[in-house]
């Protein structure tokens, strides 16, 4: 299917999210759409999938102009989109989830078509138990499910919006193999990403968006530096200070066990040194979240000791943990970290626990201004937190943390952020390590783990490895351990 | 024994309007819209249904009037909460009070007049089955309709593709929308249908269970709130909702029986008792996911704990994830 986008404009309030984008997409190829956070990639793709309406411009499909006013229009034409957070129904079984579509999309299916679904599944190398619950799948599996579902419904054009966020390295491999196969079957695949390596590996052609405009396009093979310059308008380098851990013990964990509905972890032992960075590797949902929350005092451990200055604080509530300088930053920024509808200034007032009745307006404005400047947040004191982009929300979250702190617990601190934002976040975090703050963070990005962590704990099926020094760990070795191989007996 | 069975048959009959209203509310909430006006709506449609049947002399016209009044109220609620994106709670509360007072005001001419009622209609053959026949098949046509409604609604919600779409819209409207489903249209339809069923419960009282219209003395005020709580504790499931309705009416009946036995207990105590008892019972089957529950469970021996976890997970039904949240496309 030949798609032509001509002079697409889209405004959100005063923001010009898509500024006159013209683009032709040919069948049988994998097109990479690159750009930093907020460049307008997602907006453009949502316009093409009917999820949002363009303000002006034309969309031609096989040389015919089409109005895409809703996703049902797009689906009828055979355009389907895989969203960053899978648009599925976690509370339902897979079989139920697959049966939800609108008849206006022209899809007709009967029970016999399950065979076809299973065939597609097998062809792409996925395995689902149709009677399982969607919510129990990992993000990667939910994505695979969406992919299979769209193909089953007869989609010819597949749009993938940041599909590798939150999936494991092994799942990424399976996904890429599937996409290459589909491109061979003359499907059109649009791959939206801010990660260069992925585009390099997968795409035959790439276009780059910056600030709502289409800046340029390149054919494979790509030159990485060239693409970076297109994306950011300049070169980006990342730096890492040398091993920052000291010999002072910041926290000792002894025989810790954690248990809830989903996961059981037993007998965790390690010492965390002041100024050290420990990374948590493992597939999504292997217990990293529960582990971080337990260390933050948000979740009760079922046994063991968490020692700070030789005092066991396991069983105390999270305020006691905070009093000792332990802070947790959740991965769901808007849902668990920030308050939608509150301005930046109100966030600072809220996090500043001064015991007074009235707000000191002058003082709080001053604090807000200095923090915004220091953390380089693109927003004003009166901006609501939900209006910020993902990268800026993360900066806001970090700027709310008390300084100095003993230990920061970060859940996927750079998920969904582009290279520049991620680098910036890490430069701030590393600075704090110099001031003897320790960090424990979880990540799905092996590169990030081996690059920034001093030691790594690997999670697999309720087991936690010994802390492994990252200097002796390659990404391949780490990937195998995450998949459950190479574990000591 | 016979007396007990007659009593139980009465419980079945009296539970039908509650069950119908619960199913109505379940449809509405499954799609993501809370209809908080149920209480006032039941009182209003009881009056409208009675007045219509009294004026025309035709019982089923009264029932139809109740359903249509309810559906109209449902459209009003949809319009305010979906199209105007107003708070479902605030609007629901106000409408609830408005409907109730409107009923008392407009119903004055129909106070304490004898009107038509639904006649009992035993089903041949089935009525002769011992106990079961007496309990379930020597009833009126509305009770039989309720049996069909319960089966149908359960089947619809959990075993049809339309039902999947209904649940999908209440759970993840964004996902439903990106699959081409017109979320707001679905919500309009189910809110109107659900409110129509709630509206049917009114005439089921005034033309059958508590025949007649007695203004504020009709004793329907409060039923709607119980309907709302049964919907929640029933886990938005018509079968569980029916169970809750029967339980509630049974407790009411028990109160009446005990009152005649223990004359010394003030009558108010036994009249009010079903309400807190209902809440307690339903709380018991819906143990919340709170810290103290987790702590209590952690004290159990490990062998039992797994089974208890599973039981609690089976009993606890989370609400439709987008209940009360208006849907907005980006």
pLDDT per residue over B24-46, tens digit each?
Answer: 999 999 999 999 999 999 999 99
Q: Which residues of A touch B179 (CB under 8 A)?
A: 71, 75, 87, 100-102, 105
pLDDT per residue over B232-270, tens digit each?
Answer: 888 899 999 999 899 889 988 888 888 888 878 787 777
State residue A84's pLDDT score: 82
Would you call B318 and A91 a contact, using CB atoms and an 8 Å cutoff?
yes
CATH code of the domain occupying A237-325+402-489 = 3.40.50.300
Q: Closest Cα of chain A to B87: distance in Å? A: 17
Would you call A51 and B180 a contact, using CB atoms and an 8 Å cutoff?
no
State residue A353's pLDDT score: 62
Q: How far is CA A187 from CA A26, A181, B96, B206, B216, in A?
A: 9, 9, 55, 63, 68
A-contacting residues in B 247-266 (Cβ below 8 Å): none
State residue A418's pLDDT score: 80
Q: Does B330 reach chain A within 8 Å, measured CB to CB?
A: yes
Domains and CATH numbers, chain B: 2-315 (1.10.3470)
Cα separation, A155 vs A182, whole angstroms: 11
* Mean pLDDT over each residue of chain A, to the nearest integer: 86
Q: What letter does residue A292 receive in the DSSP assignment?
A: H
Q: Which residues of B touch A102 (CB under 8 A)?
A: 165, 179-182
Q: Is the pLDDT of residue A253 over 80?
A: yes
For A100, name the nearest residue in chain B, comparing CA atoms only: B165
Pick from B172, B313, B330: CB nearest A52: B330
* Listed range (A238-252, A291-305, A376-390, B57-71) with the worst mean pLDDT: A238-252
Q: Which residues of B touch A46 (CB under 8 A)?
A: 330
Cα separation, A206 vs A219, whole angstroms: 6
pLDDT per residue over A70-103, tens digit each?
Answer: 999 999 999 999 988 889 999 899 999 998 988 8
3-state SS assignment for residue A249: strand
Q: Is the pLDDT of residue B142 over 90?
A: yes
Would you call A71 and B178 a contact, using CB atoms and an 8 Å cutoff?
yes
Residue with tokens 């290279």: A419
Q: Closest Cα of chain B to A28: distance in Å? A: 24
For B321, name the nearest residue in chain A, comparing CA atoms only: A91
For B168, name the nearest residue in chain A, comparing CA atoms only: A89
At residue A439 the predicted structure's pLDDT band, cuts being 50, 70 and 90, is very high
Q: Does B182 reach chain A within 8 Å, measured CB to CB?
A: yes
| Crossing angle between the packed helical segments B223-233 and B238-261, to the nearest 10 degrees | 130
Is CATH 1.10.3720.10 what the domain over A3-232 is classified as, yes or no?
Answer: no
Q: What letter does residue A93 receive in the DSSP assignment?
A: B
Q: Does B165 reach chain A within 8 Å, measured CB to CB?
A: yes
Strand ordering across the sheet containing A311-312: A264-273, A249-259, A303-308, A311-312
Would you call A105 and B164 a contact, using CB atoms and an 8 Å cutoff?
no
Q: Where in chain A is the domain with CATH 3.40.50.300?
A: 3-232, 237-325+402-489
Q: Which residues of A touch B175 (CB under 8 A)?
A: 87-89, 100
Q: Closest Cα of chain A to B301: distance in Å? A: 13
State residue A245's pLDDT score: 63
* Listed range (A234-243, A306-315, A420-429) with the worst mean pLDDT: A234-243
- Report the complex ipTM: 0.83
8 Å CB contact between A174 and A12: no
Q: Does B101 reach chain A within 8 Å, measured CB to CB?
A: no
* Listed range (A31-40, B184-193, B222-231) with the worst mean pLDDT: A31-40
Nearest to A308 by CA among A300, A320, A293, A290: A320
State residue A377's pLDDT score: 84
pLDDT per residue over A283-322, tens digit each?
Answer: 877 888 889 999 988 888 888 889 888 888 888 888 888 8
* Average pLDDT score over residue span B174-182: 92
State residue B49's pLDDT score: 95
State residue A334's pLDDT score: 77
Cα separation, A378 vs A372, whole angstroms: 8
Question: B51: Cβ–Cβ under 8 A, 6 or more apart, which residues?
Answer: B62, B65, B106, B107, B109, B110, B213
């Amino acid at each position: 299917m030949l798609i032509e986008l001509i002079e697409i404009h889209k405004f959100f309030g005063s923001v010009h999210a898509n500024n006159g984008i013209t683009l032709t997409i040919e069948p049988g190829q994998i097109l990479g759409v690159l750009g930093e956070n907020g460049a307008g990639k997602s907006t453009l793709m949502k316009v093409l999938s009917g999820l949002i309406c363009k303000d002006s411009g034309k969309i031609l499909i096989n040389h015919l102009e089409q109005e895409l006013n809703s996703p049902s229009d797009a689906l009828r034409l055979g355009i389907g989109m895989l969203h960053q957070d899978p648009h599925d129904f976690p509370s339902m079984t897979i079989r139920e989830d697959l049966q939800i579509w609108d008849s206006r999309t022209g899809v007709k299916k009967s029970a016999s078509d399950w065979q076809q679904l299973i065939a597609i599944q097998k062809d792409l190398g996925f395995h689902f138990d149709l009677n399982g619950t969607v919510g129990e799948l990992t993000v990667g599996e939910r994505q695979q499910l969406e992919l299979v579902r769209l193909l089953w419904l007869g989609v010819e054009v597949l749009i993938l919006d940041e599909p590798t966020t939150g999936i494991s390295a092994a799942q990424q491999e399976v996904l890429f193999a599937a996409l290459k196969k589909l491109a061979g079957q003359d499907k059109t695949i649009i791959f939206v990403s801010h990660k260069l390596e992925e585009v390099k590996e997968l795409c035959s052609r790439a276009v780059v968006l910056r600030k709502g405009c289409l800046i340029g396009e390149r054919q494979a093979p790509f030159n990485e530096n060239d693409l970076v310059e297109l994306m950011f308008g300049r070169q980006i380098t990342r730096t890492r200070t040398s091993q920052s851990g000291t010999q002072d013990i910041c926290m000792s964990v002894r025989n810790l066990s954690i248990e809830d509905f989903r996961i059981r972890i037993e007998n965790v032992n390690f010492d965390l040194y002041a100024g050290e960075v420990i990374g948590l590797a493992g597939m999504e949902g292997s217990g990293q979240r529960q582990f971080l929350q337990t260390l933050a005092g948000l979740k009760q451990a079922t046994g063991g000791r968490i020692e700070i200055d030789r005092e066991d604080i396991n069983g105390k509530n999270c305020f006691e943990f905070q009093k000792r300088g332990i802070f947790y930053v959740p991965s769901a920024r808007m849902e668990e970290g920030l308050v939608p509808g509150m301005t930046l200034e109100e966030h600072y007032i809220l996090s500043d626990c001064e015991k007074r009745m009235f707000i000191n307006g002058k003082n709080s404005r001053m604090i807000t201004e200095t923090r915004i400047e220091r953390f380089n947040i693109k927003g004003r004191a009166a901006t609501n937190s939900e209006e910020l982009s993902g990268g800026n929300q993360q900066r806001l979250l970090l700027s709310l943390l008390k300084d100095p702190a003993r230990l920061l617990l970060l859940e996927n601190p750079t998920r969904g952020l582009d290279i520049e934002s991620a680098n910036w976040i890490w430069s701030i975090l590393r600075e704090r390590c110099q001031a003897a703050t320790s960090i424990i963070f979880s990540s799905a990005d092996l590169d990030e783990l081996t690059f920034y962590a001093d030691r790594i704990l690997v999670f697999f099926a309720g087991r936690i490895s010994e802390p492994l020094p990252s200097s002796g760990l390659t990404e391949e070795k780490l990937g195998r351990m995450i998949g459950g191989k190479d574990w000591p007996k | 024994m016979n007396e007990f069975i007659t009593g139980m048959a009465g419980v079945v009959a009296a539970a039908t309007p509650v069950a119908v209203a619960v199913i109505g509310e379940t449809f509405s909430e499954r799609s993501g819209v809370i209809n908080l006006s149920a209480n006032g709506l039941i009182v209003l449609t009881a009056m409208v249904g009675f007045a219509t049947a009294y004026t025309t002399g035709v019982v089923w016209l009264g029932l139809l009037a109740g359903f249509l009044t309810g559906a109209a109220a449902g459209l009003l609620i949809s319009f305010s909460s979906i199209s105007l994106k107003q708070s479902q709670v605030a609007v629901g509360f106000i409408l609830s009070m408005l409907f109730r007072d409107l009923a008392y005001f407009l119903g004055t001419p129909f106070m304490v007049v004898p009107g038509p009622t639904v006649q009992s209609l035993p089903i041949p053959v089935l009525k002769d089955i011992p106990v079961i026949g007496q309990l379930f098949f020597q009833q009126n046509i509305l009770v039989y309709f309720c049996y069909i409604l319960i089966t149908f609604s359960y089947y619809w919600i959990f075993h049809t593709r339309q039902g999947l779409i209904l649940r999908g819209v209440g759970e993840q409207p964004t996902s439903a929308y990106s699959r081409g489903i017109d979320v707001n249209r679905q919500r309009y339809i189910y809110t109107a249908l659900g409110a129509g069923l709630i509206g049917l419960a009114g005439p089921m009282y005034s033309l059958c269970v508590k025949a007649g219209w007695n203004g504020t003395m009709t004793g329907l005020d409060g039923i709607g709130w119980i309907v709302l709580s049964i919907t929640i504790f029933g886990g938005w499931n018509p079968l569980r909702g029916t169970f809750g309705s029967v339980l509630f009416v049974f407790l009411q009946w028990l109160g009446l029986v005990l009152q005649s036995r223990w004359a010394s207990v003030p009558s108010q105590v036994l009249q009010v008792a079903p309400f807190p008892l209902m809440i307690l019972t339903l709380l018991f089957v819906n143990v919340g996911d709170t810290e103290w529950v987790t702590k209590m469970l952690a004290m159990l021996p490990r062998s039992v704990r797994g089974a208890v976890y599973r039981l609690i997970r089976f009993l606890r039904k989370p609400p439709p994830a987008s209940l009360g949240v208006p849907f907005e496309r980006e």
